[in-house]
Structure 1
């Protein structure tokens, strides 16, 4: 079964390895894709663990009725192993609509984390 993030690999070989903690996402885009997959899978622990400590909410309640249907990465700026920050602009589709966001990421202790996002459109 293909990973929810839209890449052709199986979930276990793609975002599943990040969710399990076996390895950390190597780029801001990989982290963003893995966070989308965590929303699809309802993995609140991963979402909180990969949120910047300065902006992380105390808790996160996901809507159990939300059905994510696809992810399109539109633009990635920086966010590689050679950067300390990066942005990823994407469109995440769900039953009945879509979310268009530019997310900001930073490296904390060598690991990529989500800082915040700006809704577009």
Structure 2
């Protein structure tokens, strides 16, 4: 009898784990440089199923569109291509939603140093 009552509850809880996290919205925080400075950073995201679109803006630089964005549960990933005087470089970002914070790690192709960001959801 108890197993009949617990089975629907277990199935319901297991199903919740498969839903994508709702990271749609605007996220803000500061990037902390090696020199001790901070750069204000804004990430705007929109989720459509498992697809993730949006843009990242750091400091006074232009808004950079995200590419190949995906959502899997409470984890996200995307790529940003930065273009400058020295050419272009891709930065691969992965992140995890933890409460009202989005914790991101970026890894530029060909560079050992990682970029770490903790962003908070901007109230609507």
The TM-score normalised by the length of structure 2 is 0.39
Choose between structure 1 and 2 for higher RCO, CA contacts under 8 A separated by at least 6 residues. 1
More helix by share: 1
The TM-score normalised by the length of structure 1 is 0.40
Larger radius of gyration: 2
More strand by share: 2
